[in-house]
Structure 1
Amino acid sequence: MDAVTPGPSGTRRATFEGRGAFFEGTELKLEATHSHDDAAEEAHDVSVELGATFGAWVVPHLRRLLEKHGSSRLLHRVDHDFVRFVSHGSKFGTRPRADGRPHKTQTRYDPLVTSSLPEIGNTRLVWIEWVRGIAALVVVLSHFLDGVVPAFHDFSREVFDPGRAGVVAFFLVSGFVIPLSYRRQSTNVFIVRRLTRLYPIYWIVLVVTALLSARADWTSPAWWGELLLNATMLQQLFMASMITVAWTLTIEIIYYFQQIAAKTIRQLDRSWIVGYFWVAVFAGAVAAERVLDRELPISFPMLLAVACVGHAMSLSFGGLLAKKHTITITVVVTATIVVAGLLRADVDPLWPPLLYVVSFLGGIALFGLAYLARNRFELRWAVWLGGISYALYLSHSVTGGFIRAAPDDLLWPAFLAALSSAILSAWLLHKYVELPCIRWGRSYKPATAASRGVRRAADEPR
C-alpha cells in the first residue's frame, strides 16, 4: 500500500502497488448508522472498489489497512465477506480500459442466470460453474459411451475412466464452494438451503427409478425399507444405491456433517486439515485390503480428502490461507493416493490399481486446468450446463435406459435419445423444481432474539 489519504465523511482512498499488479483508486468507505432504538447496535458497512481482478494477497492488504485505520468489528466483517471486489481487468494485473468497458474475455452475466453461482464477496466464480458443467457432461458421456462403443468400454476399464475423473472434479468444487457459503450462514440456514437444493430433485428421480425397477415389489416391507433408506441419501453406508450414481451423494452428506461439526466448534476455516486424516484412512484401508484380500470402500475417504483440498484452495484463493499450506495438503493427498493406489491389491475387478490412480489424477488435472484458464475462456455453454449439472447427474441414470434396452443396430440412435432426453429433463427439473426450491430455501430466515421479543410483546394482553 503506497498511500492512505483521508476523504469526506470518513472515507479514505488508498493506492496499492506491487507484486506485479496494481490497485488504483481503491476506495475504502467506512459508514456508521445509528438507530433511535436503544436495542439497536452500530452497523458498519465495508465497501471496497478495486481497479483490477483481485489476487489471493488482497485480503491481507485490506486487513492491514483496517488494523491501522479501522476497528476489530470491521476486521470481523472483512473475514465474513463484507468485502466487495469489482473487477475491471480481464485477468490478474490487467489495467482497465480507458473507456471503462470490459475486455473481450469478460462477460457481464445476467444476474438472474448467475444468482446461484458461488462467490467470494460479490465476485461470481463463473469458472467454478463451468467446471461443474464440464464434469457433469464428462460423467454422462462416459456412462453412455460405455454401452455404445466397445473400444471406449475397454479403455475406461483398463486405462482411464473419464466418469471417475469427473466425480473427483465435483468434490474439488464442493470443497471449494460449500465452506464459502456456509461461513456466512447460520447452521440452520445452511441445513435448510442444502435440503431444499438437493432433496426435491433427488426424490423425484428416486421415485421414477423405483417405478422402472425390475426388482420393485410394492407388497414387500423390505422393498419399502430400501426405498425409504435411499430417500435419506445415506443408503451407500448400508447398501447399493437404487440410483446408480447416487453413491457419491452419501459422501457429500458426510462432508456436510464434517463442516457442521467444524463450525459448531468454531473451526470451519481450519477444517481443511481433516483432509490429512481422511487420506491416512485411505492409506489404512488400502493396507487392510491387502491383509483381508477383499474390497473396501476406499473411495469414501479418498473423495473426502479431495473435498478438503478444495477447501484449502478456496481459502488460499480468498487470501485467508497461506499458499504453502494449500500446496502442502495438495501434494500430500495426491502423492498418498497415487502411491497407495498403485500398491493396492487387485481385489476390485472394476477398479484395478492403475485405472484408479490415472482416473483420480484426471479429475485433479481437470480442476487445475480450469483454475489456470478461469480468466481466459467464457464457455457459456458449460456455465449453462453447470446450472443444470445436479439434475443432469441424476436424470441421466434414468435416460440411460434407452441404451440398455436398444438392440445393437440402434445403439447410436439410442445414445442420441438418451443424451437429449437427459439434458431436456435436467433443464425441466432445474427450472420447475430446483430453482423454486432454492428460492424457497433462501426465503427461510430463522427467528432472532429480537424478533422473538417483538412477537412476545405483540402476544401479551394489553
Structure 2
Amino acid sequence: MSGGYLHGLNALRIVASVAVVYDHFRGWFASGQQRWTFDEKASATVFGPLRLDSLVGAFGIGTFFIVSGVVITYAAQRESPGRFVARRAVRILPAMWVVLLAVWVVARTNTPIGVTGPVTVGDLFANLTLANFFFSGNAGLDLVTWTLAVQISYYVFVAATIPLLRRWPWLPPALAVTMISVLLSVLHDDGVATHMLRVVVTFLPILFIGQVIALVRLGRLHPLAGLAYGVLQWLLLVRADLTSDLTPAIPGYGRLVVCIALLVIVVCRLTGGVVAGRWTRGVANRTYAVFLVHVPVLYVTPHLLSTTTGTTLAFFVATLASAVIADLLYRFVEAPCVRRYRKWENRGRNSAERAPDDLAGRVEATR
C-alpha cells in the first residue's frame, strides 16, 4: 500500500490538539467556579447525548498516540537506530526544555502558573528528565509532559527493534504484546515510580495499534495479521483498565480507542483538498508547541489580567496567547533545532560519501 506522506493525519492532529486544549479550558473554568455557556450548550446538545462528555480530552490524547505510532513506524522504515533516536530527541526535547525552563523561572517569581509550592533547581532538573513523574517530592512544571514518558518509551522500543522490523515485520508487534502482558502482570499502583510505569504500560498499546496500522498500509504485514495484533493490543489496554482503579479511569475508553483507530485508518486515505493545504500542514506542525504551552498560559493569564480565573476576557486572551507563544516556540526553537541537526547530519553524510571518491583519486594519483 501507500508509503507516501499522510496528509490526512495533519488534519487529525489539529482536531486532537483542539480537543485537548478544549478539555483543559473546561477544567480551567471549573477550577475558578465559573460558568462557560458555550461548553454547557455543547454538553447538552452534543457531548451529553453521545456520552462523550468525559472523553473529549481522552480523544485528543488517544489520537496523538495512534498517529504517533503510525508516523514513527514510517520513519523507522528508512532510518538507522542511531539516526532514529537522534531525530526524535531533536524533535521533542529542545522545545520541552525551553518551556519547562520558562515555567520554572516564572514560578520562582511566585506568579500562579499551575505549580504547587516553591520550586528548586532540583525540581527543574527532575522535570527536564521527566524524573518528577517517577519520584515523589518534585513539583511538576508542566504536567502534560507525562505523555512524553509514554512516547519516549515507544521510541526506545522501536529503535531497538528496527533491524527486526525491516527483516521480520511481524516480530516486533509480537514482542510488544509479550512485553506489555508481562509488565501488566508485575506492575501495580503501589508507589510513585510503579504507578508511573503502570501508566506508561497502560497507554503503550495505543501506540502499538498505530504501528500495526502503518505496517499494514506499507504492505509489510498481512491485514489479517494486523487485525490480530491490533485486537491483542486492544485487549491489553482493556486488561490494564480493568486491573487498575487509577489508569486510565475513564468509562468507555476502550471503545473510544477502537473508534480512533478506525478514524485513523480512514483519514490515512485522504490525500488532497484542505488536508493537503499549506495552512493545514503549518498548523499541524505547531500542535506539539501548543500542547506544551497551553496549560501554563491558562494558569498565568488571569493573574496578569488581575481578574478572576475563568472570565471571558481571560479565556480569549489565553487562547490568543497560547497560539502566539506556540508559534514563537515552533519558529525559534523547534524548527531551527530540527533544521540545524538535519544540516549537520547531511554534511556528515556527504563527507562519508565523498571519502571513497577521494581515496580512489589519491590511489589513482600514485599510479
Please indicate the TM-score interval, normalised by the length of the shorter structure.
Answer: 0.7 to 0.9
For residues 172 and 145 of structure 2, what CA distance do their matches in structure 1 show? 25
RMSD of aligned residue pairs (Cα, Å): 3.8
Distance 1:293 1:310 in 2: 30
CA contact (8 A) 2:290 2:326 kept: yes
Corresponding residue of 1:228: 125
The CA deviation at 1:138 is 1.0
Distance 1:402 1:383, change over 3 A: same
Structure 1 pair 326/226, CA: closer, same or farther in 2 (3 Å)?
same
Where do 1:160-171 residues align within 5 Å? 160-171=54-65
Which residue identity is paired with 1:378? Answer: V
Stretches of structure 1 lacking an aligned partner (at least 5 in a row): 1-54, 57-119
- Deviation string, structure 1 residues 227-283 (Cα, Å, up to 9, x no partner): 123223454333574211001111111111111211256667442333313542575
Question: Structure 1 residues 160 and 353, CA, compared in 2 at 3 Å: closer, same or farther?
Answer: closer
- Flag the structure with higher strand content: 1
CA distance in 1, matches of 2:355, 2:322: 46
Comparing 327-336 and 234-243, the one that deviates more: 234-243
Residue in structure 2 matching 1:413, options 286, 302, 313:
313
Aligned pairs (5 A) from 1:69-88:
none
1:136 maps to: 17
* Aligned twin of 1:280: 181
Residue of structure 1 in register with 2:234 after alignment: 334
Cα distance in 2 between the residues matched to 1:187 and 1:386 = 26
Is 1:432 equivalent to 2:340 in the alignment?
A: no
TM-score, length basis structure 1? 0.61
Aligned mate of 2:286, from 365, 385, 388: 388
Between the aligned partners of 1:217 and 1:293, the Cα distance in structure 2 is 23
Give the aligned residue type for 2:286. Answer: I
Q: Quote the residue 2:149 is aligned against.
A: 250
Q: 2:219 aligns with which of 310, 313, 319?
A: 319
Q: In 2 relative to 1, CA 359–420 (structure 1 residues): closer, same or farther, beyond 3 Å?
A: farther
TM-superposed CA distance for 1:422, in Å, is 0.9
Q: CA deviation at 1:318?
A: 1.5
TM-score normalised by L of structure 2: 0.75
The answer to which structure has the higher helix fraction is 2
CA pair 230-143 structure 1, distance change in 2 beyond 3 A: same
More moved, 414-423 vs 186-195: 186-195
1:452 Cα shift? 5.8
1:383 deviates by 3.6
Are residue 197 (structure 1) and residue 91 (structure 2) matched?
A: yes
Q: Following TM superposition, by how much is the alpha carbon of 1:332 offset from its aligned partner in structure 2, in angstroms?
A: 2.1
SS of the equivalent of 2:251 reads: helix
Amino acid at match of 2:62: V
**1:171–1:257 distance in 2 versus 1, CA, 3 Å:** same
User: Is contact 1:233–1:253 with CA below 8 Å preserved after alignment?
Assistant: no
How much does 1:180 deviate? 1.5
Shift of the alpha carbon at 1:394? 0.3
Q: State the shift of 1:451 in Å.
A: 5.2
Counterpart residue number, 1:36: none
Distance 1:344 1:191 in 2: 33
Deviation (angstroms), 1:396 = 0.6
Hey, what's the Cα distance between the residues in 1 that align with 2:131 and 2:152? Answer: 8
> C-alpha displacement at 1:195, in angstroms?
2.4
1:85-138 per-position Cα deviation (integer Å, ceiling 9, x unaligned)? xxxxxxxxxxxxxxxxxxxxxxxxxxxxxxxxxxx3xx3211121221111111
Please report how far the alpha carbon of residue 404 of structure 1 lies from its aligned counterpart in structure 2 after TM superposition.
6.2
Q: For this pair of structures, how many residues does the alignment match?
A: 329
Amino acid in the other structure paired with 1:124: Y
> What amino acid maps onto 2:214 in structure 1?
S
Point out which structure has higher relative CO (alpha carbons under 8 A, 6+ apart).
2
Percent identical residues: 22
Residues 431 and 353 of structure 1: is their aligned pair in 2 closer, same or farther, counting only changes over 3 Å?
A: closer
Residue 132 of structure 1: SS of its match in structure 2? helix
Matched, 1:308 2:208: yes
Kept in 2: contact 1:138–1:163 (CA 8 A):
yes
In 1, are the aligned partners of 2:16 and 2:63 still within 8 Å (CA)?
A: yes
Where does structure 2 lack aligned partners over 5 or more consecutive residues?
111-115
Q: Which of 274, 277, 298 matches 1:378?
A: 274
Q: How far off its partner does 1:312 sit?
A: 1.4
Aligned 8 A contact 2:23 2:56 in 1: yes
Residue of structure 1 in register with 2:113 after alignment = none
Give the Cα separation in 2 of the matches to 1:366 and 1:299. 24
Matched with 2:134 is 237
